[in-house]
Structure 1
Amino acid sequence: MATAYSEDLRKRTLALINSGKTISEVSRLLNLSRPTIYRWKLQLETTGSTTPRSKNPPPYPSKIKDWQKFKEFVDQNGDRTTEEMARLWGGCSRHAISRGLKKLGYTRKKKR
């Protein structure tokens, strides 16, 4: 997986452009693509920063709010599929139910 360019390189690149060099010259000098330099320039203009963006998406808010009630629901309906549980719980998908089960520590493995 590719890593982000350092903030130092980004600042030096934009400093060269501000000193009067063209983007094509800086591109050839530092061996960077022109679209990358344009993207850094736009990022500096819009956010005021040249720091690389985070690769992790923001956390997804859970549709399950009352975890004690959900635990009781799971204990009563543990033999059902996640799709059936989602239908019974209402207002969420089977994926949300699956994430909730994982958060509570329930697995799909059968206990003997």
Structure 2
Amino acid sequence: MPAPYSYDLRQKAVKAVKRGHKKVNVCRLFKISRNTLDLWLKREKETGEYAAIANKQGRHSKIEDEEKFKSFVKENKGKTQKRMAELWGNNITQQNIKACLQTHFIAREV
């Protein structure tokens, strides 16, 4: 997962828009997407802040019970990640299963 943009960059881009610079020019200058800039401006309007959201950085597993997941994996180790996601339920995707396996190194243990 890529690192969030620095607070300094966010601050410069938002201030440039507030000074009246066109968004398209700000995006080109700072090499950011228009969507990114719009999200920062929206967040600032709603919360008064445009810093990266701390709990959104890095991986956060949708599977919270590690021991239950380890048992589940041992019981279903012959199945594909897609099938495991279907069996787990709770709107878990194949990507969630993969991420949890990688995070907990279960893939090497099983």
Query: TM-score under structure 1 normalisation?
Result: 0.49
Greater relative contact order, per chain length (Cα 8 Å cut-off, separation 6+): 2
Query: TM-score under structure 2 normalisation?
Result: 0.50
Greater per-residue helix proportion: 2
